[in-house]
Amino acid sequence: MRRKILLTVMMTSGWATAQSMPEDFADMTAMLPDAVYDIRYHGSNNFVGMPVDGYLAPKCILQGKAAKALVKVSVAAQAQGYKLKIFDCYRPTQAVAHFMRWAQDLADTATKAAYYPNLSKDKLVGEYIAERSGHSRGATLDLTLMEQDEQGEWVELDMGSPFDMFDVLSNTENPSVTDAQLQNRFTLRTLMEAQGFTNYDMEWWHYSLSPQPYPDTYFNFPVE
């Protein structure tokens, strides 16, 4: 096992400890080059409205078991004419701390219309924004499916709500979406469950490998 080197990094909220990436974690851009990577927290197109702490590169990093399972999901998806689009994978705890600082700043509502139009900001922590995220354990990811349109361009399947929309409309089995949108969500869920991933039923895009390889460990090495 590669020696874990503890580094001290400065964060906007103070000092925190970051680790180097364990050797049983993998960069999915190498293992799964055919996927589309839209790593939202590396840029500003997200509910925080800015790049998030700990995302130094637009990469999807996963623990090895989850990585191998996701490759199998991709193979099965391709057999049905789909491609994976990935929004987030491993998430450092420093990023979660950034989310919490944003959530506690109730005066900053710049992204409300796009991400939580029907909720007040003080209701987001808990069901939608966790103080300790399963993503930090290395085997949880957010994703969707893409298909080719009539012009041959790859486009996202219509899931009835966009990624990271904090609303009951994003609940996987919400009856308010159309039958076609619901079927798209179920197609993603079927592909993921076949390889051992479990859906978080409040967010159609959110999946965790079960059982978790590191059920009690929350990592803080940067995505780079």
Predicted confidence at residue 47, as pLDDT, reads 98
Give the number of other Cβ atoms within 10 Å of residue 200's Cβ: 16
Predicted confidence at residue 127, as pLDDT, reads 84
Residue 98, marked binder: no
Amino acid at 91: R
Q: Are 155 and 147 in contact (CB under 8 A)?
A: yes
**Cβ-based burial of 8 (10 A; exposed 0-12, middle 13-18, buried ≥19):** exposed
Give the integer Cα–Cα distance in Å for 59 and 67. 13
Long-range CB pairs of 148-155 (<8 Å, 24+ gap) are: 148/81, 154/36, 154/83
Predicted confidence at residue 8, as pLDDT, reads 30
Residue 42, marked binder: no
Predicted confidence at residue 10, as pLDDT, reads 31
Q: Are 63 and 101 in contact (CB under 8 A)?
A: no
Predicted confidence at residue 3, as pLDDT, reads 35
What size, in residues, is the chain?
224
Residue 135, marked binder: yes
Catalytic residue (one of 127, 131, 203, 224): 203
CATH number for the domain formed by residue range(s) 25-209: 3.30.1380.10
Listed residue (176, 200, 174) closest to 189, CA to CA:
200
Predicted confidence at residue 19, as pLDDT, reads 76
Give the integer Cα–Cα distance in Å for 80 and 11. 44
Whether 203 is a known active-site residue: answer yes
Domain regions of the chain by residue span = 25-209
Return per-residue pLDDT of the chain as tens, 224 residues.
Answer: 333 333 333 333 333 344 799 999 999 999 999 999 999 999 999 999 999 999 999 999 999 999 999 999 999 999 999 999 999 999 999 999 999 999 999 999 999 999 999 999 999 998 899 999 999 999 999 999 999 999 999 999 999 999 999 999 999 999 999 999 999 999 999 999 999 999 999 999 999 999 999 999 999 999 99
